Amino acid sequence: MKDKERARKIKMIIMDVDGTLTDGSLLLLPDGEELKAYNVRDGTGVLLARMAGLKTGIITGKISTSLKKRAEKLKIMELYEGVLDKKKVLLEILEKNELQPEEVAYIGDDLGDLEVIKFVGLAGAVADAHPEIKKHSHFICGNPGGRGAVREFIEFILDAQNRWPTVEASLKDFVKLKEKI
């Protein structure tokens, strides 16, 4: 099946965090809290997906206060942190949202994502992903993790589904609402 055909079936996009939504760098504060940097382009991509009517989710192995705040801000529907078995959580998400594996896209970067990458309908890898992730992915981004790769993956899906008119209409409604405030 061609990648665009796979992308046309997608109803939900799920992402990894470290190395995917971020560049994988962690800054440690003296109190042990970790800081992560998120790219605005990736955040805009998540918002575009939502405007187009797609569901979004995150499955990550780490737990982070900053991630909770970022997910809330982006209105990400499903957030699972501290996950060792990502495929098990994916199956829960599928059941909860009444979706089939071919209706889910996942983008990741490292070996902890491999079982999910092999299972979903559309698998994406950031440009600097582990070779094994790239080997099993349908779409390999030109951008590295934390540098717009998630947006690139989402825009590929929106293009394949011809969702830009829906997104443009949502943007016009948003602008009109802002003008009234």
Q: What pLDDT score was predicted for residue 176?
A: 60
Cβ-proximal residues to 8 (8 Å cutoff; 6+ apart), any chain: 160, 161
Domains in the chain, please, with CATH?
A: 3-180 (3.40.50.1000)
Q: pLDDT (tens digit, 9 = 90+) per residue, 58-108? A: 999 999 888 999 999 999 999 999 999 999 999 999 999 999 999 999 999
- Residue-level pLDDT at 175: 56
pTM: 0.92
What is the pLDDT, as a whole number, of residue 166?
84
* Amino acid (one-letter) located at 174: F
For the segment 10-53, what is each residue's pLDDT rounded down to a tens digit? 999 999 999 999 999 988 889 888 888 999 999 999 999 999 99
Residue 174 has what pLDDT?
Answer: 61
Provide the 3-class DSSP secondary structure of residue 36.
coil
Please state the φ and ψ torsions of residue 123, each to the nearest 5 degrees. Answer: -105, 135
What is the model's pLDDT at position 173? 66
Nearest by Cα to 147 from 59, 16, 22: 22
Residue 156 corresponds to which amino acid? F
Could you identify the residue written with the tokens 């992560």? 36
The model's pLDDT over 99-132, given as tens digits with 9 standing for 90+, comes to 999 999 999 999 999 999 999 999 999 999 999 9
Report the Cα 1 to chain-centroid distance in Å.
Answer: 22
3-state SS assignment for residue 13: strand
- Residue 127 CB partners (closer than 8 Å, separation 6+): 140, 141, 142, 143, 144, 145, 149
Give the pLDDT confidence of 139-157 residue by residue, as tens digits.
999 999 999 999 999 999 9
